[in-house]
Amino acid sequence: MRQKIVAGNWKMNGSKALVQQLTSRIGSEMASLENGVGLVIIPPALYVPGVVESSSAGFGVGVQNIACWESGAYTGEISAAMAIDIGCAYTLVGHSERRQLFAETDEQIAAKVEQAVNAGLTVILCVGETLEQRDAGTAERVVSAQVRAGLANVSDDQWPNVVVAYEPVWAIGTGKTATAEDAQAMHVAIRRELKSIGAPADNVSILYGGSVKADNAPALFAQPDIDGGLIGGASLKADEFMSICRAVPGGY
């Protein structure tokens, strides 16, 4: 059975005060969640230790990026082993901002995925098309290629450590959101691609991200192949984030 997950990606936002405020509020409200959803908080790396201190409340903690190398002379990089050492269980890989702003290639992303799963982290592989690609009718082909390339080095026993997050680039931070039906269609395509590369597709959680808010989360999460969300700006507001978490259907 696939796990339902809502992960909050803080991006380059945060402070010691915000860590204390948000984690305390989220931790205190987790007991009221009755839908079995798994919560993950992914702050900037400097604030991971502060979030980990509060993670006894039951939520997971992740880093926003890891290196494609195991260790060595790579100033400024964070290895998968280091992430685990400070208490992380998750890492994002291949977020569109990393692909676009830092020119990360499919080969680098695949290497990062390999480092993550080899170390025992659960990797959340981010995939998604631009508006130009969607308008050109190539969205499904682009996203399927990203899935195939990013997961090329995953072995059969490592699939339990893989989550995919579909984030249409045109919907990230823009206020635009794919319709629930469009998002579901792409999730079906992703699951089909997972099956084609030998993954246990029906057991891999696929999250939707892209301007998810409390008011559109119920329709998105009601879709049969959407297993939760990767939340950006809304994860910085405790009320909004917890409302999104409550929108995940129960019984999982």
State whether residue 81 is helix, strand or coil.
helix
128: left (phi over 0), alpha (psi -120 to 50) or beta: left
- CATH architecture classification, 16-67+77-246: Alpha-Beta Barrel (3.20)
Q: Look at the pTM and tell me if it is higher than 0.85.
A: yes
Domain boundaries, the chain: 16-67+77-246
Separation between Cα atoms, residue 139 and residue 78, nearest integer Å: 32
pLDDT score at 31: 84
Convert the pLDDT of each residue in 103-117 to its tens digit: 999 999 999 999 999
User: Which of 95, 104, 114, 129 is the catalytic position?
Assistant: 95
Convert the pLDDT of each residue in 168-202 to its tens digit: 998 887 777 789 999 999 999 999 999 999 999 99
pLDDT score at 212: 93
User: Which of 104, 140, 167, 240 is the catalytic position?
Assistant: 167
pLDDT score at 250: 80
pLDDT score at 252: 41
Q: Which residues of the chain have pLDDT under 70?
A: 251-252
Q: Is 95 a catalytic residue?
A: yes
Q: Is 167 a catalytic residue?
A: yes
